[in-house]
Amino acid sequence: MTKAVLRAIGGSVMVAVPKPFLSQANLRPGSEVTVAFERGKITLAPVAKPRYTLNELLARCNFKRRPSRPDREWQAAAPAGQELL
């Protein structure tokens, strides 16, 4: 078990998490975690990023909406490289 020291920073209290723990949990600075207090213990857990299927993403699209001006300009632009199939 590793010990850590709580530090006051601004209006919050922070704890430094050792790098090996971060890599084992697949976390990095800026990662979102849940914080829970249960049975006298504080726990952190990674927040799972939502994964969508193509059908779920397409269901959220409004195909009747007119594309924005930047989108229309992009669609009408000439190829800039080797993106043609």
pTM reported for the whole predicted model: 0.52
Cα of 68 vs its chain's centroid, Å: 26
pLDDT at 42: 94
CATH number of this structure's domain 6-46: 2.10.260.10
pLDDT at 1: 82
DSSP string, 16-80: PPPHHHHHHTT--TT--EEEEEETTEEEEEEPPPP---HHHHHHT--TTSPPPHHHHHHHHSPP-
State the pLDDT confidence band at 21, using cuts at 50, 70 and 90: very high
Percent of the chain with pLDDT over 70: 99
Question: Which residues make beta-bridge pairs with 44?
Answer: 35
Q: Domain extents for the chain?
A: 6-46
Residue pLDDT, tens place only, 55-72 = 999 999 999 999 999 999
**Percent of the chain residues past pLDDT 90, beyond the cut:** 84
Average pLDDT over residues 40-66: 94
Q: For position 85, what pLDDT does the model report?
A: 65
Q: What is the pLDDT at residue 79?
A: 85
